[in-house]
Amino acid sequence: MLTYLINGISLGSVYAIIALGYTMVYGIAKMLNFAHGDIIMVGGYASFCAMSYLGWPPAVAVLFSIGVCTVLGIVIERLAYKPLRSATSLAVLITAIGVSYFLQNVALLVWTSNPKVYPNIFEKIPPITVGEAQVSGVTMVTILANIVIMIALTLFTGKTRMGKAMRAVSEDKGAATLMGINVNFTISMTFAIGSGLAAIAGVLLCTAYPNLVPTTGAMPGIKAFVAAVFGGIGSIPGAMIGGILLGVIEIVARALVPDVPSDIFVFAVLIIVLLVKPSGLLGKTVREKV
Amino acid sequence: MRKKILGMFLAGVLAMTALTGCEGAANGNNGAGTQEQASGEEQTTGDQQTTAEPAGDGALTGTLNLGVIGPMTGAAALYGNAVKNGAEIAVEEINAIDPAFQIKLDVQDDVHDPEISVNAYQTLKDNNVQVIVGTVTTSPCLAVSAEANSDRVFMLTPSASSPSVTEGKDNVFQLCFSDPNQGSASAQYIADNKLASKVAVIYNNGDAYSTGIYQTFKSKASELGLELVSETTFTDDTATDFTVQLKAAQDAGAELLFLPIYYQPASLILKQASDMGFAPKMFGVDGMDGILTMEGFDTKLAEGVILLTPFSADAEDEATANFVKKYNDKVGETPSQFAADGYDCPYAIYRALEFYAAQNGGLDVTDMSYADLCEILIGVFTNPDFSVDGITGQGMVWGANGEVNKAPKAVVIENGVYVGM
């Protein structure tokens, strides 16, 4: 059982780090960026290319991939989402799905469907043995990265000028504009940070499950979204808790009922949460003012 | 607001899952009907070219327009291009044998899409193609073979391995093993060579290819007294974490892990098994072929993996060595099983026409209608005296159901290369 729990935490920590990016963009721009999973895929490919073709050390490759994803996030926001700022949220949602498939197909064109095997960049970190189970180096790094990012994001949105501007935009775009906040710039920054986080998530996802294809980000992206809803979308600690719980649920379900595809349980969680507590575990219930 | 978000979430998730659900159906088909083909019927040996005394000169002459359909671009382009390159090498060789008989190749791209494939087929017909090698992948093949069956165009598919491709269509033949046959052949091989008595299986229950092999493996294994100690599954969407399945196999004391799956999930299984210190014998099928060419894959992980494949590039016979060298010169890589399948197809058709010409006092194929050629080729392929020695198998013979019968070969991976067993 302990083995399953630890494997679940390993998987969940990957969902958590993706969910952090989801929740960050949703919390501020109030839009679901379904292309988040595919930005992760681009981040994976960017770092893979930097390491395998250019021979860069992993640390530089990760920075490079953060740079690529940040720029990509800003460009996507400018071209695809900004013109729809005053459109219905459904229009933006459909656009995000379109962007997601656009990125997957461009990746198919550029990198083809031949899977690439991602190098283990945390090879030097020895695994810790807990009872009969092993916690791998990449899991420890992922959990650590989760905590660091979670604290950094909380501090950033709470203390800095930019962070305060983001919260203001999130609460009321009109009033924020009146207070002299540049709403467009603030939302662009949100996408930049969210996409930078996606690059980190991409590196960690590909290191943990080293198989890189153009659809690599799609399913983890959706599951991370479930995790974000589970934890309370918009809530930063909620994303992390939701992610880890979802990973544990998935692995334990697979162990207890091996004949049933485990995704049934993952998505059942989404439905139950939306029915019972739509604001999620840590989410705030906000009544819409008229 | 709550309701709005809820609706939005559900709409979005439904849309995304519905769309992603369609992916990875590279070998999708509906049903693994036929079980085993009539085994045990040995092909007649002896040189068929000289068995029948020709009434006339027995020569094969003219120009044959041969069409090839396969994915040359898109997600499955790897397979289509391998078949194309293999077929081109074969046609060059055949054309060099006798200037009186020439083959003209016409290759069309179907992007692994059934509708585009039917368009490609119509283009080939407009180009006066007489016989078709194709299609490379299963779902397009189902669409095209239905058209070709009513039009009476002869089809020989190099690699569409589902039994549904040939079922009920007398004009469609396979050069590759049909899926289910691989399962029983694998069980037979494991039992005959006493590789293990306790066997675990991990298969993809969202994929007809994998499930079809698993089912025939299971029934053959119980017949032969192999003990299946653990049978676990995954789907394309959960093909990342296999720790649970591996743990179950390990706890059950499996000596051999049978993996009737593609190389991509298999590469993750090998890595995760190695991470947890679980080292049973690993046994794969033709879907495992390609694992060594994955970019960045640590071939040490695949050390000792056994796989059943009709073609191994390191085989020492002259025909294989010749093909591997030519392929290397032309494409710059070692040919895969698909390339070998593509190479054998034009030869099979050439041998069949030769066989007919020898028995019927000559044949001039120039401007023959595809329907006439179709009847001739069906007659020859179902003739028990007709057999072809190719690089994917010696003495290939075909049944009336279109399935091929040939001896499977197993290879083991040693020092990063296939070694024949």
Quick one: pLDDT band at residue B3, thresholds 50, 70, 90? low
The top-level CATH class assigned to A2-276 is mainly alpha
What are residue B257's DSSP bridge partners?
B200, B282
Q: Which of B2, B16, B291 to substitute to test the interface with A, most A CBs within 10 Å?
A: B16
From the number of C-beta atoms within 10 Å of its C-beta (0-12, 13-18, 19+), residue B131 rates as buried
Q: What sign for the dihedral angle of Cα B273, B274, B279, B283?
A: positive
> Six-digit token pair at B330?
């032309």
Query: Cβ distance B291 to B316 under 8 Å?
Result: no
Has residue B31 got a pLDDT over 80?
A: no
The confidence score (pLDDT) of residue A10 equals 87
Q: Does A75 touch chain B (CB under 8 A)?
A: no
Distance from C-alpha of A192 to C-alpha of B25, rounded to nearest angstrom = 35
CB contact under 8 A, A134 and B271: no
- Taking CA atoms, A142 is separated from A10, A187, A277, in Å, by 8, 27, 28
Sort out which chain A residues have CB atoms less than 8 A from B275's CB and list them: 134, 136
The top-level CATH class assigned to B48-177+319-405 is alpha beta
- CATH 3.90.700.10, applies to B180-309: no
Q: Does A225 touch chain B (CB under 8 A)?
A: yes
Distance from C-alpha of B292 to C-alpha of B270, rounded to nearest angstrom = 12
**CA of B182, closest CA in chain A: separation in Å?**
24
Mean pLDDT by 10 residues, chain A (290 residues): 86 92 86 91 94 91 95 94 87 92 91 84 82 81 91 90 90 88 91 93 91 90 91 88 93 86 88 88 63
Has residue B268 got a pLDDT over 80?
A: yes
**CA of B333, closest CA in chain A: separation in Å?**
15
The confidence score (pLDDT) of residue B57 equals 78
Segment B104-118, tens digit of pLDDT: 999 999 988 889 999
Quick one: pLDDT band at residue B22, thresholds 50, 70, 90? very low
At residue A4, what are phi and psi to the nearest 5 degrees? -65, -40
- For residues B159 and B40, the model is more confident at B159
Distance from C-alpha of A18 to C-alpha of A14, rounded to nearest angstrom = 7
Residue type present at position B236: D
Sorted by where each begins, the domain ranges of chain A are 2-276
Helix/strand/coil for B279: coil
Checking ipTM against 0.85, whether it exceeds it is no
Quick one: pLDDT band at residue B50, thresholds 50, 70, 90? very low
- Poorest-pLDDT segment among B43-57, B103-117, B153-167, B312-326: B43-57
Q: What sign for the dihedral angle of Cα A108, A110, A115, A120?
A: negative
The confidence score (pLDDT) of residue A3 equals 82
Has residue B237 got a pLDDT over 90?
A: no
Sorted by where each begins, the domain ranges of chain B are 48-177+319-405, 180-309
**CA of A115, closest CA in chain B: separation in Å?**
6
Q: What residues of chain A, 187 to 206, have a C-beta less than 8 Å from chain B?
A: none
- For residues A123 and B376, the model is more confident at B376
- For residues B89 and A236, the model is more confident at B89
Question: Edge-to-edge strand order for the sheet containing B404-405?
Answer: B388-390, B393-398, B404-405
From the number of C-beta atoms within 10 Å of its C-beta (0-12, 13-18, 19+), residue B57 rates as exposed
Has residue B54 got a pLDDT over 50?
A: no
**CA of A101, closest CA in chain B: separation in Å?**
9
**CA of B269, closest CA in chain A: separation in Å?**
10
Nearest alpha carbon to residue A3 among A252, A279, A263: A252
The confidence score (pLDDT) of residue B419 equals 79
Query: Cβ distance B305 to B412 under 8 Å?
Result: yes
**CA of A44, closest CA in chain B: separation in Å?**
14
The confidence score (pLDDT) of residue B330 equals 92
Whether B180-309 and B48-177+319-405 are alike in CATH topology: the answer is: yes
- For residues B44 and A233, the model is more confident at A233
Calculate Rg over the CA atoms of chain A: 19
Sort out which chain A residues have CB atoms less than 8 A from B233's CB and list them: 258-259, 261
Distance from C-alpha of B198 to C-alpha of B201, rounded to nearest angstrom = 10
Q: Does A235 touch chain B (CB under 8 A)?
A: no
Q: Does A98 touch chain B (CB under 8 A)?
A: no
Nearest alpha carbon to residue A150 among A111, A189, A184, A200: A200
Q: What residues of chain A, 115 to 134, have a C-beta less than 8 Å from chain B?
A: 115-119, 134
Query: Cβ distance B94 to B328 under 8 Å?
Result: no
Query: Cβ distance B166 to B402 under 8 Å?
Result: yes
Segment B304-363, tens digit of pLDDT: 999 888 887 777 788 899 999 999 999 988 888 899 999 999 999 999 999 999 999 889
The confidence score (pLDDT) of residue B203 equals 93
Looking at every residue in chain B, the average pLDDT score rounds to 84
Which of A251, A286, A287 is closest, CB to CB, to B241? Answer: A251
Has residue B33 got a pLDDT over 70?
A: no
> Six-digit token pair at A253?
């379900």
- Poorest-pLDDT segment among A14-28, B8-22, B182-196: B8-22
Q: Which of B210, B244, B298 to substitute to test the interface with A, most A CBs within 10 Å?
A: B244
Closest residue, chain A, to B79 (C-alpha): A114
The confidence score (pLDDT) of residue B30 equals 38
Has residue B51 got a pLDDT over 70?
A: no
